[in-house]
Amino acid sequence: MKHIWAPWRIEYIRSEKPQGCILCEKPEEDNDAENYILYRGERNFIILNSYPYHPGHLMIAPYRHVASLEEMTDEENHEHFAIVNRGIKLLRQEFNPEGFNLGINIGRVAGAGVVDHVHTHIVPRWQGDTNFMTVISDIRVVPEALAETYQKLKRRL
């Protein structure tokens, strides 16, 4: 059995969370670059994860505050997964990853950081992308700043 270890994320998990829902609040602001919103669809949007596992870690979320996929309308679901496909294509073009992890954590017990607003994670992966720093030091090396990743992907869109 293989494991994906991310002990450095415990800092985020244990940290005090802001009141409100970032996946509702960020799209309402008129500052996509600062909020790392890459794309806006009619019902869903793409945002960079502020605590990424790897460069290009995207999240796709509906604008509407719903906790689970079954609460989404058919139109929201259809667009959501069309945008997931668009995100995968975008990451392939810009970063040429060897694979992807896709994840939807529904509920706190499933690992959801934003518990009541469903979203899909797209994490690009490369052979050997988990190195000794994570294993022995509880440190994750993310070799690119969020702002730089944002600019690369925004230009590509």
* pLDDT at position 91 over 90: yes
Average pLDDT, the chain: 85
For the residues 99-117, what does the mean pLDDT come to? 88
* pLDDT at position 99 over 50: yes
Query: Which CATH fold would you assign to the domain 7-156?
Result: HIT family, subunit A (3.30.428)
* pLDDT at position 11 over 60: yes
Euclidean distance between CA atoms 142 and 145, whole angstroms: 8
* Residue 47, strand partner residues: 37, 59
* pLDDT at position 140 over 60: no
Q: Which of 143, 140, 98 lies closest to 4 in space, CA to CA?
A: 140
For position 122, what pLDDT does the model report?
Answer: 96
Residue-wise over 19-36: b if at least 16 C-beta within 10 A, else e? eeebbbebbeeeebeebb
Helix (H) or strand (E) holding 4: none
Q: How confident is the model at residue 13 (pLDDT cuts 50, 70, 90)?
A: low
Do the Cβ atoms of 62 and 44 come closer than 8 Å?
yes
Which amino acid type is present at position 155?
A: R
- For the ranges 65-69, 110-114, 150-154, the one whose mean pLDDT is highest: 65-69
* Residue 100, strand partner residues: 124
Do the Cβ atoms of 125 and 97 come closer than 8 Å?
yes
* pLDDT at position 138 over 70: no
The residues that are catalytic are: 119
Tokens of 95: 């970063």
Euclidean distance between CA atoms 33 and 74, whole angstroms: 29
For position 151, what pLDDT does the model report?
Answer: 85
Domain map of the chain by residue range? 7-156
Q: How confident is the model at residue 124 (pLDDT cuts 50, 70, 90)?
A: very high
Rg value, the chain, Cα: 15
pTM of the model as a whole: 0.79
* pLDDT at position 119 over 50: yes
For the residues 18-29, what does the mean pLDDT come to? 91
* Residue 62, strand partner residues: 44
Q: How confident is the model at residue 3 (pLDDT cuts 50, 70, 90)?
A: low
